[in-house]
Chain A
Amino acid sequence: MTQLTTPGITAATRTRARNGRRRANAGDLLVVLSWTSVAVAISLYLAYGGAADFTSLSGIVSGIGIIGGLIGTDLILVMLVLAARLPFIDRTVGQDRAIAVHRSLGKPALYFLLAHGVLLTLGYGISAGLDPVAETISLFSTVADMPLAYLGLGLLIMVVVTSLVAVRRRFAYEAWHLIHLLSYAAVLVAVPHQLSAGGVLADGSWQRAYWIVLFVVAFGAIAWFRFAVPAIRTARHGLRVTGIEPVAPGVSSIHLSGRDLDRLQVAGGQYAIWRFWSRGTWWHAHPISFSAMPTGTSARITVRELGRGTGRLGRIRAGTFVSIEGPYGVFTDAARTSPYLAVIAAGIGITPARTLLEQSTLRHGEATVLLRGTDNDQRYLWNEVFALAARDGSSVYTMLGHRPRGASTWLSQEAAGRGVTIESVFPRIAESDLFICGPQPWADLVIRDALAAGISRRQIHVEKFES
C-alpha cells in the first residue's frame, strides 16, 4: 500500500475512479431512460383521456390491449436502439451487455404484443357482439392496415422463436441472422395500423410526436451506425488481406493492409466485425479481436477455426477485400478502475489481452499476466506477450494442462494439485482490475473465485469467446 502514495499512481487512480463513476452513471441513465420510455408511452395514453375508455367491460379489455401494444412497441424500439451499436452505449456498458439486455427483452415484448392483439380482438368483439373468431375475420377483412399488422406479428413471432432456438445452437447462425433482419420489416409493417386504426396516434398530439421521434431515433440509429458508418469506414480504409499465417493447428493470423488505419482509433483489447469478400466467406461476418495494435497501414487479427464459417477463413487468398464494422468493446484501458492490472487469458482469448498490454502505459510491476492453455498447441502469441511483459516490467505466469475431471475449477489439474489460487497468482487482486478473456464457462469460474477473493464487480472486465 505504501506504493499508493506515489503521486503518479494516485493521480491515475483518481482519473480512473472518476471515469468509472462516469461510466456507471451513464449506464444507470440508460436503464432509467429505457424504463421511463415505457412509462411515457402509457402516460401519454392516459394523458389524452385513455382512462375514459375504462368504463365498460369491452372498454377495459380494449384499454389494456392498447396499453399492451404501446408497451410492446416501446420495448421493441428500445431493443433496436440497444442493437444499433451506438458508440455511447458501447463505451459505457459495452456492446455485449447491451445485446444481453436486448435478448432479455425479446420475449416480454412479444408477449405484450400478443396480448395486444388478443385483448383488442376480445374487447372489440364484446362491444360489437361478435365472438373472437368472427371479430378477427371482420378486423382482417374490413380494416385496411390490419392484414399488414397481422403480418408484422407473424414475422415477430418467427424472429423471437428462431432467436430462442439459435441461442440453444440448434439453428445455423446465418439463417438466424437473415431471419433476424426481418424484425425491421416486422416493426415497419405494423406502423400503418398504429397511425390509422390506433386512435391513440391519430391526432396531432404529443403522443403522436413522441412515437414518431422514437421510431426515427431507433431506425435512424440502426441506419447510421450499423449500415452507413461501417460502409463509410470500409470505403475509406480499403482493407485487403495481405497474408494468412498459421500460428497453431486451427489458428491463423490474418494480416491486413489499408489506408489511415490509425484513424480507426482502435483501443487495445477491442474487436471488430469483419467480412471477407471471397466466394464462400462473404455472407458471414465474424467478430474477431485485433491481435496487434494496427499501424497506419497494416493490421493483424488472429482467429481460431470454430464453426464452418471461421474454418473457411484459413483458406482466404491474399488480396481479398475486407469490410469492417467497429472497432467495438470495453475490454480496454478506458474501463480500468484500480491501480494494479491482472490479466488472465485462455487460448484464443490471448488476442485482446495482448493488445491491451501493448497499448497500456504501465508502471514497472503494475501488471501481472496469467496465460492459460490446455496443451502445447495453445501457446501461440505467448512469446509476444512475454516480450511486452519484459518491456513493461510485468510478471507473466503460464498454466498448461486440462482441468481436473469432475471438479469445477478454472485451474489445470497440476496447478490445482499444487494448491494454486487466484490470490496466489495475483497477490494484489483486491486493488487490481481483473481482465478475463476466454470461454464463457471457464471465465465464469474465474469470476466466482475473484468475487470470493473480495474484489468488486466493477473491477472485473470480461471478453467472452466461444470455445
Chain B
Amino acid sequence: MRKRAVVASVLSSLAVLVFGWQMGTQAIGVSTLATGTLTTTPVTTTPVTTTPVTTTPATSTPATAGVAGTFTGSAASTRYGTVQVSITVAGGSITDVTALKLTDADRKSVQISSRAAPVLRQSVLAAQSAKVSVVSGATYTSDGYLQSLQSALDQAGL
C-alpha cells in the first residue's frame, strides 16, 4: 500500500507539474504572438488591457505632418503593476515620452522599472515607434510600456 501511495504521489505530482509547465509556456507563446512588436523575449501571461496592438490603422489621417500635442496611452496592467505613458508630439514626430505609471507591485519592481524606463524612452525617441527591443531583465515593464505607447501613437495617428 505504501509503495502504491508513493507511486501515485510521484505520478500525480509529475502530471500537475507538466500541466503547469505547459500552461506557462503556452501563455508565453500566445502573448508573444499577440504583441508582435516584441522580440523573442518571453512576455507576461496577464492579459494586457490596451487595444489590440497592430500597426497604425490605415483609416487614420494619412497626413501626420501637422500632428502636435500630448497623447496619453491607455493603462497596461502587468503582473507587477500598471504601466502608462504619455507622448509629446510636435510636427508629427515624438519629442518626448513620459512614464505616468510604472510597475510598482513591490520595491523590486520599482527598481527594475526605474532602470528600464529611461532606456525605453531613448530607444523610442530614436526609433520613433513602438517597434523597439525590450529591456532585458525588465520584460514586464517593457511590455506594458510599449503597449501603452502604441495606444498613445494610435491616438496621435502616428
Q: Which residue of A lies closest to B26 (CB)?
A: A47
| Contact (Cβ within 8 A) B12 A48 | no
- Could you say which residues of chain B place their CB within 8 Å of the CB of A36? 9, 12-13, 16
A127-152 contacts to B, CB under 8 A, are 127-128, 138-139, 142-143
In the complex with contacts A35-B12, A49-B42, A58-B137, A199-B109 CB distance below 8 A: yes
| Contact (Cβ within 8 A) A49 B106 | no
- Could you say which residues of chain B place their CB within 8 Å of the CB of A56? 136-137
- Could you say which residues of chain A place their CB within 8 Å of the CB of B46? 203
Docked Cα-Cα span, A42 to B6, in Å, equals: 19
Closest chain-B Cβ to A47's Cβ sits at a distance in Å of: 4
Docked Cα-Cα span, A36 to B13, in Å, equals: 5
Docked Cα-Cα span, A199 to B17, in Å, equals: 20
| Contact (Cβ within 8 A) A48 B45 | yes
Whether B24 sits at the interface, judged by CB under 8 Å, is: yes
Partner pick for A49 among B19, B79, B107, B111, CB 8 A cutoff: B79
Q: Which residue of B lies closest to A207 (CB)?
A: B20
Docked Cα-Cα span, A142 to B111, in Å, equals: 11
Q: Which of B25, B41, B43 has the largest number of chain A CB atoms within 10 A?
A: B25
B1-53 contacts to A, CB under 8 A, are 1-2, 4-6, 8-10, 12-14, 16-17, 19-21, 23-25, 27-28, 41-46
| Contact (Cβ within 8 A) B106 A48 | no
- Could you say which residues of chain A place their CB within 8 Å of the CB of B9? 31-32, 34-36
Whether A40 sits at the interface, judged by CB under 8 Å, is: yes
| Contact (Cβ within 8 A) B20 A42 | yes
Closest chain-B Cβ to A303's Cβ sits at a distance in Å of: 34
Docked Cα-Cα span, A442 to B24, in Å, equals: 54
Closest chain-A Cβ to B35's Cβ sits at a distance in Å of: 14
| Contact (Cβ within 8 A) A42 B80 | no
Whether B100 sits at the interface, judged by CB under 8 Å, is: no
| Contact (Cβ within 8 A) B13 A49 | no
| Contact (Cβ within 8 A) B23 A28 | no
- Could you say which residues of chain A place their CB within 8 Å of the CB of B105? 196-197, 199, 202
Partner pick for A28 among B5, B106, B137, CB 8 A cutoff: B5
Partner pick for A196 among B1, B45, B106, CB 8 A cutoff: B106
In the complex with contacts A32-B8, A35-B9, A55-B42, A46-B20 CB distance below 8 A: yes
Closest chain-B Cβ to A267's Cβ sits at a distance in Å of: 23
- What string of 1s and 0s marks CB contacts (under 8 Å) between A1-39 and chain B? 000000000000000000000001001100110111011
Whether A50 sits at the interface, judged by CB under 8 Å, is: yes
Closest chain-B Cβ to A254's Cβ sits at a distance in Å of: 39
How many chain B residues touch A (CB < 8 A): the figure is 39
| Contact (Cβ within 8 A) A52 B42 | yes
- Could you say which residues of chain A place their CB within 8 Å of the CB of B8? 28, 31-32
Closest chain-A Cβ to B154's Cβ sits at a distance in Å of: 26
Docked Cα-Cα span, A235 to B13, in Å, equals: 44
Closest chain-B Cβ to A306's Cβ sits at a distance in Å of: 33
| Contact (Cβ within 8 A) B106 A197 | yes
Whether A44 sits at the interface, judged by CB under 8 Å, is: yes
Q: Which residue of B lies closest to A49 (CB)?
A: B45
| Contact (Cβ within 8 A) A35 B13 | yes
Closest chain-A Cβ to B158's Cβ sits at a distance in Å of: 30
Whether A271 sits at the interface, judged by CB under 8 Å, is: no
Whether A380 sits at the interface, judged by CB under 8 Å, is: no
What residues of chain A have their CB less than 8 Å away from a CB belonging to chain B? 24, 27-28, 31-32, 34-36, 38-40, 42-52, 55-56, 58-59, 124, 127-128, 138-139, 142-143, 196-197, 199, 202-203, 458
What 6 A-B pairs have minimum CB-CB distances, sorted nearest first?
Answer: A43-B20, A39-B13, A47-B23, A35-B9, A28-B5, A52-B42
Given A39-B12, A139-B107, list of 20 further CB < 8 A pairs? A28-B1, A28-B4, A31-B5, A32-B5, A32-B9, A42-B17, A49-B24, A49-B27, A49-B44, A50-B24, A51-B21, A52-B43, A55-B41, A55-B42, A55-B136, A55-B137, A124-B108, A197-B107, A197-B108, A203-B46
What residues of chain B have their CB less than 8 Å away from a CB belonging to chain A? 1-2, 4-6, 8-10, 12-14, 16-17, 19-21, 23-25, 27-28, 41-46, 79-80, 105-109, 111-112, 136-137, 139
Supply 12 A–B pairs (Cβ within 8 Å), ascending by A. Answer: A27-B1, A28-B2, A28-B8, A39-B14, A42-B17, A47-B21, A49-B24, A49-B42, A127-B137, A143-B106, A197-B107, A203-B79
